[in-house]
Amino acid sequence: MSAAKTAAKNFTEMFAKSAILKDENGNPVDMTGLPPSKRMVSVIGFSDGASRKAEWQNVARAQEGIPVNAENTINVAINSLSTGGGTNIEGALQLAYNQIIDPTTKHVNPALKGINNVTVILLTDGCPTYHVGEKADRDGVESIAGTSGGGSFAKPADYQSAERMAGTIKGTDVNGALISLKCIAFATGTAEFEDEDGDKYNQNVRTWMSTKLGTTYSANNLTELLGNFTEILKTIKLGAEAWYVT
C-alpha cells in the first residue's frame, strides 16, 4: 500500500503541474486574464465495499512550486487508504461512476462542466471477491456496501458484475466524449476463479483485467507503478484541454 500511495500522490502532483502553461523553451507563461485551468480529482477507496475519500478537487497549479489546498486534500485522502478485507471492484467502479453521473438527476455532475476528457483509474492488488449486494444502495455517492461472493476467490457474481460496470463506464458520454477506464494490476499474479458450473480454475488477474475491464498496466514495485501513472498521464494529456480524473 505504501508504494501505491506514493505513486498516486506523485501522479496528483504531475497532474496538478500540467495546468501550468509553458512556452516552447519550457518557461512558465503568464496566465493573467486566461480562464482558470481545471484538473479535477476524486478518490475512491474499496475493500468489501467502496467509499469516497475525497469529492471533486481542482488541483490545478498556477505556479510550479506552490500546490493549492485541493492538492493537499487529495493527498490526505490517498494517505487514508488502507488494506484488508475483500476486493469489490464492481463497488469501486459503481461509486466512481456515481461521481461522474449524478444518480439523482442522471446528468453529468456540475463539477465536470466544460470537461470532456474523463478518466477513471482503477488500481487493485487482487481479483474481485465481493460485489454490490441486491439490497445495497447502488445510487450512493459517499459509499456503497458490498456482499461477499467467493470471499477468497472470484465467483461469477464478483467478476461478471465488475465486467458489466466497466462496460457501463466506457460506454458513457460526458460532454461529447466517452469515459476512459485505465486499470493497474499491482502485484496481482494468479488467482482462483469459479465458473458458472462451480468449477474452479486459476487465471492471471492482469489478463482478466485486460480482456474484460479495459486497458491494463502491470506493476510489481514502486518504480513500475510510477511508470504506469506516467503513461496514463500521457494519454490524458492527449485527450483534451480540461481534464478530470477519479
Is the pLDDT at 95 greater than 60? The verdict is yes
> 3-class secondary structure for the chain?
CHHHHHHHHHHHHHHHHCCCCECCCCCECCCCCCCCCCEEEEEEEECCCEEEEEEEEECCCCECCECCHHHHHHHHHHHCCCCCCCCCHHHHHHHHHHHHECCCCCCECHHHCCCCCEEEEEEECCCCCEEECCCCCCCCCCEECEEECCCCCECHHHHHHHHHHHHHHHCCEECCEECEEEEEEECCCEEEEECCCCCEEEEEHHHHHHHHCCEEEEECCHHHHHHHHHHHHHHHHCCCCCEEEC
**Residue 241: what pLDDT?**
45
Give me the amino acid identity at 50.
Answer: A
d(C-alpha 193, C-alpha 186), whole Å: 18
Give me the amino acid identity at 20.
Answer: I
Share of the chain above pLDDT 90, in %: 78
Is the pLDDT at 32 greater than 70? The verdict is no
Mean pLDDT of the chain: 92
For residues 204-218, give the mean pLDDT.
97
Q: Give 38-85 pLDDT, tens digit per residue.
A: 899 999 999 999 999 999 999 998 777 778 899 999 999 999 999 889
